[in-house]
Amino acid sequence: MRKITEEDLANTAGITLKGYKVEGVRIKRGEFSDSDNYGIILGRSPEGCYVTWQFHYEENEDISIYWGHYFMEDRETALRDFNSRDLSDAMKLKSDIRSLDNDTKNIEKISVQLTNSIYDRLHTLAAEFTISIELLINIAIKRLMDDVDFMRNLRVGKIEKIELE
């Protein structure tokens, strides 16, 4: 067993293992010194069924896959599992947000506690639309603040005129 590299990930993406085409592959996150010796694979069968496996490279460069989670045709749940199956509950509940002001010189780091379901949905959306979780969080917060401003303005009778067609 050896450390997995970015080149390994690139070479593994798109190959077929046990009848499943590798749609996603990443290095396992973890707090142990050998965590980067392991990875997570998302595979899809020709029939449209999904699996996630843990894997590592053998000394002879063969890929050893094991601990499969099978999802039939439920891609969303498979993606959620792919993005989070190596995280402990403590890691799942913490995410960092960076807030940039207009001149981009001052960065404030804020720590936010997320529920497991919100965390899982963010990872699924990020993977589905290929955008960062940080961007999704900032969009959601901006939308929340805009809604709060709208309700405050509505309460005091300050309403923008909307032309109806």
Contact predicate 53/68, CB 8 Å: yes
What is the CA 114 to chain-centroid distance, rounded? 14
pTM of the model: 0.53
| 105 band by pLDDT with thresholds 50, 70 and 90 | low
Residues 37 and 62 in one domain: yes
Mean of the pLDDT values across residues 147-154?
Answer: 90
The SS3 assignment for 49 reads: coil
Dihedral Cα 82, 86, 90, 91, nearest 10 deg: -70
Residues 24 and 40 in one domain: yes
Contact predicate 95/114, CB 8 Å: yes
Could you give the percent of the chain with pLDDT greater than 90?
A: 30
Position 160 scores a pLDDT of: 74
Residues 31 and 74 in one domain: yes
Mean of the pLDDT values across residues 66-76?
Answer: 88
- Of 86, 102, 131, the residue at which a domain comes to its end is 86
The reply to whether 56 falls in a domain is yes
The tally of domains found in the chain comes to: 2
Cα(142)–Cα(18) distance, integer angstroms = 44
Residues 69 and 128 in one domain: no
Position 95 scores a pLDDT of: 40
Position 45 scores a pLDDT of: 95
Cα(105)–Cα(49) distance, integer angstroms = 47
Residues 144 and 108 in one domain: yes
What is the CA 108 to chain-centroid distance, rounded? 23
How many residues are there in the chain?
Answer: 165
Could you give the percent of the chain with pLDDT greater than 70?
A: 79
Report which secondary-structure segment, H or E, holds 134: helix 133-155
Position 46 scores a pLDDT of: 95
Contact predicate 132/123, CB 8 Å: no
Cα(106)–Cα(96) distance, integer angstroms = 16
Q: Is the pLDDT of residue 44 over 90?
A: yes
| 93 band by pLDDT with thresholds 50, 70 and 90 | very low
128: Cβ contacts below 8 Å, ≥ 6 apart: 79
Instruction: Report in angstroms the alpha-carbon separations of 31 from 53, 87, 124.
Output: 19, 10, 23
- Of 66, 86, 106, the residue at which a domain comes to its end is 86
Q: Kindly report, residue by residue over 9-35, the tens digit of the pLDDT.
A: 999 999 999 999 999 999 887 766 677
The reply to whether 149 falls in a domain is yes
Q: Is the pLDDT of residue 94 over 50?
A: no
Mean of the pLDDT values across residues 63-86?
Answer: 87
Q: Which domain holds residue 146?
A: 87-159
- Of 39, 69, 86, the residue at which a domain comes to its end is 86
Q: Is the pLDDT of residue 133 over 80?
A: no
Residues 12 and 64 in one domain: yes
Q: Is the pLDDT of residue 98 over 90?
A: no
The reply to whether 164 falls in a domain is no
Instruction: Report in angstroms the alpha-carbon separations of 7 from 4, 43, 60, 142.
Output: 8, 19, 16, 37
The reply to whether 109 falls in a domain is yes
Residues 59 and 127 in one domain: no
